[in-house]
Amino acid sequence: MTQQPLLTVDGLSTYFYTDRGVAQAVCDVSYDIKPGETLGVVGESGCGKSVTSLSVMRLIPDPPGKIVAGKITFDGQDLLSLSERQMRKIRGNHISMIFQEPMTSLNPVFRVGDQIAEAIILHEKLSRKAALERAVDLLNQVGIPSPESRIHDYPHQMSGGMRQRVMIAMALACKPKLIIADEPTTALDVTIQAQILELMDKLREETGTAIQLITHDLGVIAETAQKVLVMYAGRVVEEADVKDLFTNPMHPYTRGLMRSIPGLGAHEEKARLETIPGVVPSLLRLPKGCRFQDRCRHAMERCKHEEPELKIADGKHPVRCWLYQE
């Protein structure tokens, strides 16, 4: 029997209405995540990864932002039909979010133990003493030494890696069914980065929590995700199982991202990494046709006038590219 998805996003479009025009931040994005699964969402800055996640959490600032189309179903509930009060019961309790910069996400004037305990008191109605005991357990779970004394620390007394572990402890506080991790390792050095990713994967296996992992780093995706969504200029351009994507990347953008990953043991003449020329187009002035056309080495006349659909190509996986839809 196939497992029912925990989260289903269907045809999501989120726009921002500004003085300079309408920015189409997310356009017709669809995906699902099963319980205990990690979905990696990858792409350059400005491609719609974070806006997609904030839309799921219903945290898009309105104005100027607005979810203009689509459906978001979580655990059988239509999130877009819920009131703000009902949504607050889901945020932090059933869906948690880990942001990329813990120094701006943690309150500098409160001790970390109190910040973790706050969500537990709010959602689980425990006493402060019981909530702090749980906070100690959570800090222990995420690998922070001497958690009994560390709960009394302020964020500035901790290293970047420690603060990120506190953020993960806060995300786990109410045993959520889904964690959305937005670039959770960006500000950390490589060793700490590996530890945090390993920790998240271990917790996913132990607790059965599903993870939506947002990153621009395909190396991170290769190690942690089961499924991958490649986004470009607000659109999904490729979707595949992680093994399938790495053995057979099809969209020219995905291939460009792959070629920009440093390889171990590269020969000297191959040591120079390739880059994708140009930049992501402005979401206020998107090109007609394929959004990647200006940067694509395979661009044809048709790409300038018609935007391809996301279709299964060569019997493998969905790709948005005219190369496979001739």
The confidence score (pLDDT) of residue 268 equals: 45
101-114 pLDDT, tens digit per residue, is 766 778 999 999 99
pLDDT in tens, 114-172: 999 988 898 888 899 999 999 999 898 888 899 999 999 999 999 888 888 898 888 88
**Angle of CA points 262, 50, 24, to nearest 5°:** 110
What pLDDT is stored for residue 151 in this prediction?
93
Mean pLDDT of 199-209: 85
pLDDT for 309: 94
pLDDT at 103: 66
* DSSP E strand boundaries for the chain: 7-18, 21-33, 38-42, 65-74, 77-78, 95-98, 178-182, 210-215, 227-232, 235-241, 311-313, 317-319
Residue 200 pLDDT exceeds 50: yes
> How many CA atoms within 13 Å lie on the side-chain side of 87?
16
Contact in structure between 92 and 122 (CB atoms under 8 Å): yes
Q: What is the reported pLDDT for 85?
A: 93
Query: At residue 265, does pLDDT exceed 70?
Result: no
Please say if the pLDDT value at position 266 is more than 60.
Answer: no
Q: What is the pLDDT of residue 39?
A: 97
Residue 84: per-residue pLDDT? 93
pLDDT of residue 62: 87
φ and ψ at residue 144, rounded to 5 degrees: -90, 120
The full set of domain ranges for the chain reads: 7-94+176-287, 105-173
DSSP 3-state percent helix, strand, coil across the chain (nearest 5)? 35, 25, 40
Per-residue pLDDT tens digits for 61-73: 988 999 999 999 9
Q: Is a pLDDT exceeding 70 seen at residue 271? A: no
What pLDDT does 80 receive? 96
Window from 161-170, 207-216, 287-296 with minimum mean pLDDT: 161-170
Q: What is the pLDDT of residue 326?
A: 62
Task: Please give the span between the terminal C-alpha atoms of the chain, in angstroms, as a whole number.
Answer: 36
Q: Rounded to whole angstroms, how far apart are CA atoms 245 and 251?
A: 10
Domain 7-94+176-287: CATH architecture, name and number where available: 3-Layer(aba) Sandwich (3.40)
pLDDT of residue 263: 64
Q: How far is CA 168 from the centre of its chain?
A: 14
pLDDT surpassing 80 at residue 38:
yes
Can you tell me the mean pLDDT for 294-315?
92
**Mean pLDDT rounded to a whole number for the chain:** 89
pLDDT band of residue 53 (cuts 50, 70, 90) is very high
Summarize the confidence of residues 193-201 as an average pLDDT.
82
Q: How confident is the model at residue 307 (pLDDT cuts 50, 70, 90)?
A: very high
d(CA 150, CA 136): 8
Percent of residues, the chain, with pLDDT higher than 90: 60
